[in-house]
Structures are given as structure tokens and as C-alpha cells.
């Protein structure tokens, strides 16, 4: 089962509609189940709910062979913590999905590090879905010392 999750704060109809079309075209052989928020798009080709309780969400997550979602840190962290392959598509400002394009940078960096697969547009989804089944995410290793060093350099730079 592929688990589609877009969070509950904002709709992501562009992704939901694209996955619905892809499922309808038969390009996903597995069952898809979606947690799709309160958007206007209601999928015809897979079962979905607007939201679910944490226990139910965790059940779908554990049963999923892969995840498709937006490129938010919560979704990425959830996938990495559960060692699930993630195909992430960033929400974009030009579509009114976010206030800025921060998810583009997040998707790019985590993809470069081999943690996720990224689809930067609807046209990239079929290839990403084809790769999702064989994708093994690189393990994310905390680097607290590197973060502390960056913060220290920043603070030293703003001293007057």
C-alpha cells in the first residue's frame, strides 16, 4: 500500500489530483490510501480521508511500502524515522500552497543526501513512483556539533 499524506493544515489539491489521475491510468499497481486534508479535490480512484487520529495514521504508515507527500519537515522526518521510502513534492507559492518556496530547498537538499526522492512538479511523479519501490533511504545521522558550530559562527558574526 502506498500512503499519500499531505498534512492537515493546508490542502494540496495539485498533488492529490495528480495521484488520482496516475492511479486512474494504472501507473500505480499497489493500493493507495490518502490522508488529504480539507481540499477541494475528492479522489475517484483511491480511498482517502481528510484527517485521522494518530493511532490510525501510524497504522497506515507502518503498513505502507512507500509514502508520497509534501516536502515538509514533519513528513520527511516521519518517513526517515520509520525507514520508509518517501516521494516528496514541494508545495509552491505560485499555486498559493505556501507563503514562500522553502519546501523546494528542503526537497533538494534531502534528495541530494539520498534521504528522499523528490518530484518538483506533477510531470516528475510517474518516474518517482516507479523508483519508490526500490528506493532505500540513506539513514539520517544527527550532527548536533555541526548545528552548534553554525549557530556559534552566526552569533559571533552579529556581535557588535
Q: Which of 124-128, 129-133, 138-142, 146-150 shows the lowest per-residue confidence on average (mean pLDDT)?
A: 146-150
CATH code for the domain of 142:
3.40.50.2000
With 90 as the cut, is the pLDDT of residue 45 above it?
Answer: yes
Cα–Cα distance for residue pair 99/34, rounded to 1 Å: 24
Q: Give the residue numbers spanning the domain of 120.
A: 2-158
C-alpha of 37 from chain center:
14
Task: Report the first-to-last Cα separation within the chain, whole angstroms.
Answer: 56
Q: In what order do the strands lie in the sheet with 2-5?
A: 47-49, 32-35, 2-5, 66-70, 86-89, 117-118
What pTM was computed for the model? Answer: 0.89
Averaged pLDDT, 79-104: 94
How many domains does the chain contain in total? 1
List the beta bridge partners of residue 69: 5, 88
pLDDT band at 160 (very low <50, low <70, confident <90, very high): low
Amino acid at each position: 500500500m502506498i500512503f499519500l499524506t499531505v498534512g492537515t493544515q493546508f490542502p494540496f489539491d495539485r498533488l492529490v489530483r495528480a495521484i488520482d489521475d496516475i492511479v486512474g491510468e494504472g501507473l500505480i499497481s499497489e493500493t493507495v490510501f490518502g490522508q488529504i486534508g480539507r481540499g477541494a479535490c475528492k479522489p475517484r480512484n483511491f480511498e482517502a480521508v481528510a484527517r485521522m487520529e494518530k493511532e490510525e495514521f501510524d497504522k497506515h504508515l507502518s503498513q505502507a511500502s512507500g509514502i508520497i507527500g509534501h516536502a515538509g519537515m514533519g513528513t520527511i522526518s516521519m518517513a526517515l524515522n520509520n525507514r520508509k521510502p518517501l516521494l516528496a513534492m514541494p508545495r509552491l507559492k505560485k499555486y498559493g500552497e505556501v507563503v514562500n518556496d522553502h519546501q523546494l530547498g528542503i526537497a533538494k537538499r534531502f534528495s541530494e543526501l539520498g534521504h528522499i526522492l523528490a518530484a518538483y512538479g506533477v510531470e516528475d511523479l510517474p518516474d518517482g513512483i516507479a523508483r519508490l519501490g526500490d528506493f532505500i533511504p540513506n539513514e539520517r545521522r544527527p550532527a548536533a556539533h555541526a548545528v552548534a558550530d553554525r549557530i556559534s559562527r552566526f552569533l559571533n558574526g552579529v556581535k557588535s
